[in-house]
Chain A
Amino acid sequence: MTTATGLQGEGLKVLCKFFAHGACLKGDNCEFSHDWKQPANNICTFYQKGACSYGSRCRYDHVKAPRQAPVSLSPNSSFRTGHPNRTPLGKEPAATQNHLSGSASSSRSLTSVTKPVWALEAHTSSFSRNENRPHIVAVDPTEKPICSFAAAGYCPHGDKCPHIHGDLCYICGKNCLHPYRPDEREEHMRMCQQNSKHLEALRHSQEIECSVCLERVLSKPAPSERKFGLLSECDHPFCVSCIRNWRSSSPSSGMDVNSALRACPICRKLSYFVVPSVIWYSCKEEKQEIVDGYKDKLRSIDCKYFDFGNGSCPFGTSCFYKHAYRDGSLEEVVLRHLDTDDGKTMIAKDIRLSEFFSGMHL
């Protein structure tokens, strides 16, 4: 604790990011340190929240646990009993909140909880980071970030670089695989593989033409139209706008909706739905993947017809959108199957007593 209070007296502890780049406009009024001796806080906030889209290429540190034990105002907190960097990430918010509500001044609004850890620290008391940091870095190589320049393709320092250089990823050809974080490596390889597959698919999707407008789908003038419309039952390519226009055009006299409008314009195979996609598939599995992805996305959106149980959806159980009530419970439907006169089975819905009476021919 003595070191902590001593540091607190100095007031400044985290190197100012802007100063480090030679561009801090606050000068002497900056609440961060303008002293090169102070450690830079390079923690990635996105990683703290659970997901950083840069992955191992992020130029900020992806540290698993709060390595400066955020606002440990009470030294007895359970937080500090274990090895700090082995604390599960999930525990952090709760702990932080406890500290705030418990010992921080009541005037502090709860929103400050969402602030980045170093900002929090800057305003409240601070300690323990300097005492923690050097020894963690020395002990655990997984805590060390890899050189972001090397990960992005080229590091000007070469072998003299103070950071670890990642291993070479054979897919993207960059030194971005962290040598000591197997999870991250795996994740990167998976993403890289996915990316290269996507690029490949995109490349041969470029050539594909829509049979309605006769243009290359991905070269249409309006960016919003550069999308394929996949028919569920056949493999003929169209722009999503063209095929939707055709399917929603009003049938002229004598035109059968099912055999003309809902059929593929080329092979006349009946499809019940169109799936938008930015890439064209090359095999059945890829198509299935696109269709499943689309359905999953729709399933997370509340159906506007169902309207949380207030309305009724004409698509019933076939609806792609979510049928959930306000309390979050999903609609449960037990279908009633009726045998009709001609031996077929039909699904009964919305049966009214009046229909029964009108069928009695009294």
Chain B
Amino acid sequence: MQASRARLFKEYKEVQREKAADPDIQLICDDSNIFKWTALIKGPSETPYEGGVFQLAFAIPEQYPLLPPQVRFLTKIFHPNVHFKTGEICLDILKNAWSPAWTLQSVCRAIIALMAHPEPDSPLNCDSGNLLRSGDLRGYRSMARMYTKLAAMPKKG
């Protein structure tokens, strides 16, 4: 408990210090609870998610960093490895390939990389996975683009 708090505090200071280091990631700690964080990440360019801002919710276990944080998308996203309803993310480093050397910042980076490189063979969103696996790139892109525009972009006007 004490160790996780100390480590999160370190990460918090690091985030404050290097706010400008990674313009695609904005990590915000809950005002009253250091075990709850939210992150805003920008959709990577040259993907259907470009231009969108996606919100992630972090729930950090007390045994952190021995256990990975639980991360899910709060913003709706059409992606083969993200559950369409719950926002759950299928990513090895959040499960069995976790290592205590990862930080919240690097987890965000990994999620951005996952958005750019979907893994259709272990889908949480079967529709999206099937589109990709059947080679219907155009179908996948237009669906993902539509949801990005609907959910992840500020409404105009």
Contact = CB atoms under 8 A, between A and B. Distances in A.
Interface of A: 211-215, 242, 245-246, 249, 252-256, 260, 263, 265-266, 268
A212 B6 contact: no
Q: Which 10 A-B pairs have the closest CB atoms?
A: A265-B101, A265-B99, A214-B10, A254-B96, A211-B101, A212-B100, A255-B96, A249-B66, A266-B101, A265-B100
Contacts of B97: 260
Given A212-B65, A249-B66, A260 B10 contact: no
Interface in B99-116: 99-101, 103
Interface of B: 3, 6-7, 10-11, 14, 63, 65-67, 95-101, 103
Contacts of A263: 99
Contact of B7 (A213, A252, A254): A213
Contacts of B6: 213, 215
A332 B16 CA distance: 60
B10 A213 contact: yes
A253 B68 CA distance: 13
Nearest to A250: B66
A265 B101 CA distance: 5
Contacts of B14: 214
Question: Is the contact region of chain B dominated by helix, strand, or loop, or is it mixed?
Answer: loop
13 contacts: A212-B101, A213-B6, A214-B7, A214-B10, A242-B100, A245-B3, A246-B66, A249-B63, A252-B95, A254-B95, A256-B96, A260-B97, A263-B99
B68 to A, nearest CB: 9
Contacts of A265: 99-101
A215 B99 contact: no
Given A242-B100, A266-B99, A215 B10 contact: yes
A246 B67 CA distance: 9
Contact of A252 (B10, B67, B101): B67
A256 B67 CA distance: 14
Nearest to B92: A254
The winner among A214, A215, A242, A265 for most chain B CB atoms within 10 A is: A214
A252 B65 CA distance: 14
Nearest to A256: B96
Contacts of A252: 67, 95-96
A214 B7 CA distance: 7
A269 to B, nearest CB: 12
B98 A246 contact: no
Contacts of B7: 212-214
B3 A213 contact: yes
Contacts of B100: 211-212, 242, 246, 265
Contacts of B3: 213, 245
Given A213-B6, A246-B66, A255-B96, 19 more contacts: A212-B7, A213-B7, A214-B14, A215-B6, A215-B10, A245-B66, A249-B63, A249-B66, A253-B96, A254-B96, A260-B96, A260-B97, A260-B98, A265-B99, A265-B100, A265-B101, A266-B99, A266-B101, A268-B99
Contacts of B98: 255, 260
Nearest to A259: B97
B98 to A, nearest CB: 7
Nearest to B66: A249
A256 B99 CA distance: 12
